[in-house]
Amino acid sequence: MNMISSSACAITPRARQAGMSLIELMVGMAIGLVMLAALGSFYVSTSKTRTEFSKTGDQVENGRYAIELMVRDIEMSGFYGRPGVPISVTHNLPTACATAKASMGFSTTSGLVVPVGLSGLPVGAAAPTCLPNIAAGSEVLTVRYASSVVTATPVAGEYYVQLSACPTDTVSLVYDTSASAFTLQTKLCVATSPAELRKFVVRSYYIATCDTCTGANADTTPTLKVAEFVGGAITVTSLVDGIQDMHFSYGVDTDNNGSPDCYVSDPSVDNSAACTTNTGYVWTNATTNWANVTGVRVTVLSRNIASTVGWSDTRSYNLGRPTASGPFNDAYKRHVYGALARVWNTGGLRESQ
């Protein structure tokens, strides 16, 4: 019998433990590095996209919020206690910075006189001194109305409007800051039934060159701000960051039916050449023109708060002016938002006549 040597069939420990060769290991590492590089590139790209989406989302929210704020106030403008204020009421045109009681536009000396519900300043108008850090070329919109919330107890220093519903009251409206002055009554005509008391609201919207304008944290972010009449003085508050420009186009009712007949940038001047629908309308009285505004087109240009690497804004933006806004040639993305606001307390009353 042939015998096979055990040493010839034996498998050495070295052969049993053999792994990848150096070449295989290098190939595997190369593939792994390529995959890591691809994953890293994907992560960076996703992160950048998410950041841009966040910037755009903030910009969209800011633009829409700015529009909503101004449209809401425009729709309230001219409200002085109830929609039944006589349509034949006389109007005054106070300045945006008026704070003294006598200059706010109210009077009952000869009939009922109230301030116009809204007024504005176009591009190029002299900047009011009560609007700090106003951007060059910024338009200004001022709205005036009595608050929709009835005040139970007046706060010292605040101004309120009280509108009478009693035919025996000697005056039809009181505008004052003293609680003792509010003696007007409801239609019951009894002292125990006083007429509603409402805080008087005046707000001026404008574009400022900064949000935080002083101190170590001062910036250069264009911001929609509001100057509000509070406690007999004007207080300025930042509303929306990134609002770079805005334009108001005012719809003037020239035939007294409540509907705007033409839209102009400045109702205080003669617009007869542009508004030919009613050739009989006379444009010589700025106060009357503002009192006849029954609609406002509001357009804002919203800008990202943070810049975008690799982006250059070479576009121009049409806000409704003869001249477009831009190009800005910087790294900020922008978008235009617009809305039409109805001046219900003027146009609505005329439509019901």
State how far the alpha carbon of 245 is from the alpha carbons of 75, 138, 327, 335, in Å. Answer: 21, 7, 13, 11
pLDDT at 31 (0 to 100)? 84
Query: Tokens 């001046």 belong to which residue?
Result: 343
What is the DSSP-derived secondary structure letter of residue 196?
P
Local structure of 132: helix, strand or coil: coil
What are 208's two structure tokens? 């400022």
pLDDT at 353 (0 to 100)? 59
pLDDT at 320 over 90: yes
Closest CA to 336 of 296, 297, 298, 302: 302
- Residue 248: strand pairing partners: 298
pLDDT at 57 over 80: no
pLDDT at 140 (0 to 100)? 98
> Model confidence at 24, in pLDDT bands (50, 70, 90)?
confident
Question: How do beta strands 197-208 and 233-241 pair?
Answer: unpaired
pTM: 0.85
> Model confidence at 10, in pLDDT bands (50, 70, 90)?
low
What are 257's two structure tokens? 């039916």
pLDDT at 15 (0 to 100)? 53
Q: Span 5-16, mean pLDDT?
A: 54
Q: Which long-range contacts (CB under 8 A, 24 or more apart) does 327-335 make?
A: 331/307, 332/303, 332/304, 332/307, 332/308, 333/55, 333/56, 333/59, 333/303, 333/304, 333/308, 334/59, 334/244, 334/301, 334/302, 334/303, 334/304, 335/59, 335/60, 335/63, 335/301, 335/302
Q: What does the alpha-carbon distance between residue 68 and residue 167 come to, in Å, rounded to a whole number?
A: 38
Q: What does the alpha-carbon distance between residue 175 and residue 139 come to, in Å, rounded to a whole number?
A: 29
Closest CA to 122 of 138, 134, 135: 138
pLDDT at 198 (0 to 100)? 96
- Report residue 65: phi and psi, to 5°: -65, -40
Q: Span 331-340, mean pLDDT?
A: 94
pLDDT digits (tens, 9 = 90+) for 83-133: 656 556 899 999 999 999 999 999 988 888 999 999 999 999 999 999 999
| Radius of gyration from C-alpha coordinates of the chain | 33
In sign, the C-alpha dihedral spanning 127, 133, 137, 138 is negative
- Residue 291: strand pairing partners: none
Residue-averaged pLDDT of the chain: 88
pLDDT digits (tens, 9 = 90+) for 256-291: 899 999 999 999 999 999 999 888 899 999 999 999
**264 residue type, one letter:** V
| Position with higher pLDDT, 327 vs 279 | 327
Lowest mean pLDDT among 215-224, 230-239, 304-313, 344-353: 344-353
